Structure 1
Amino acid sequence: MTLHWIAATLALLLGAWQLARPKGGLWHRRLGWAWVIAMAITALSSFGIYSAMPLFGTFGPIHLLSLWTLICLVIAVIAARRKQLGVHRGFVVGAYLGLLGAGIGAFAPGRLLGNLVF
């Protein structure tokens, strides 16, 4: 759970920084790779967290988002390497918005963070 939270927070901060800064160049690529790694760790570590609404074993709807996030990251990296910047931008922004949505959902009533904070 700690690894998931740290990676998600890092991805949230790096993603905001990347979206606010000029695109292209060495720092965009370096921070982009850091963001991709943080997002991948966030998604992969979610599979070790039990779902409150299991669909298959201990996995629930949020795990489908994690799987989709991993797919989006692969597509975004391939698109960037192929200079398909519109595709890259769409999948990166979409993955970041998914991260924001999952983060907001984590604070919902009845969820662990929601119970801790409220």
Structure 2
Amino acid sequence: MAIKALREALKAEESMSLQPLLEASWVIQVHAFSAMAAFVLGVIQFTAPKGTLPHKTLGAVWVLLMTLIVISSIFIRPSVYPGLPLIQWFGPIHIFTVVTTVGIVGGLIYLIKGGPTLKKHKGPFMGIFIGGLIIAGAFAFLPGRIMHAVALGG
């Protein structure tokens, strides 16, 4: 039984490859690698001490990464219909583009205001992390998507 489970695990490991992502368009690569970096930085931000210089510095990098993710998402076109005009590229997943943009702006406004509103930046940024990285990221692993091919092969 254990040998069978080990074989399955090794088989799954063999099928995991960055190749589908590396063969994708540059805008998808920018989007995906920025999202991965933002996810890691977000976890660090939530667990590390607040108000420190590293928190502020990593926070600024995280906001820039999230902005890059939003901008790149606008230019990701559906591969099934590559000839579509820009306005027709947008699908339901692009709701996350709008919501994330609103969250970035809202969080930055709280930071710029400072004072008693400073701690409120956590709300929009936590929402972006959960909605924009975890939930939208989960959609990237659906069958037929590049990240599904990266994680599960085929």
Q: Which residue of 1 aligns with 2:101?
A: 70
Give the secondary-structure state (helix, strand or coil) at the position aligned to 1:10: helix
Q: CA deviation at 1:86?
A: 4.2
Partner of residue 19 from structure 1, selected from 35, 38, 46: 46
TM-score under structure 2 length normalisation: 0.69
Matched residue type, 2:92: P
Moved over 3 A (4+): none
| Residue in structure 2 matching 1:82, options 108, 113, 121 | 113
Identical aligned pairs, as a percentage? 34
Please give the alpha-carbon distance, in whole angstroms, between the structure 2 residues aligned to 1:9 and 1:117: 13
Aligned length: 117
CA root-mean-square deviation = 2.0
Q: Which has the higher contact order (CA 8 A, sep 6+)?
A: 2
TM-score (norm 1): 0.88
Structure 1 unmatched ranges of 5 or more: none
Tell me, in whole angstroms, the C-alpha distance in 2 between the residues paired with 1:117 and 1:78. Answer: 37
Q: Matches of 1:33 and 1:78 in 2, distance apart? A: 13
Q: Rg larger in 1 or in 2?
A: 2
- Structure 2 unaligned runs (5+)? 1-27, 82-86
2:144 aligned residue (110, 113, 117): 110
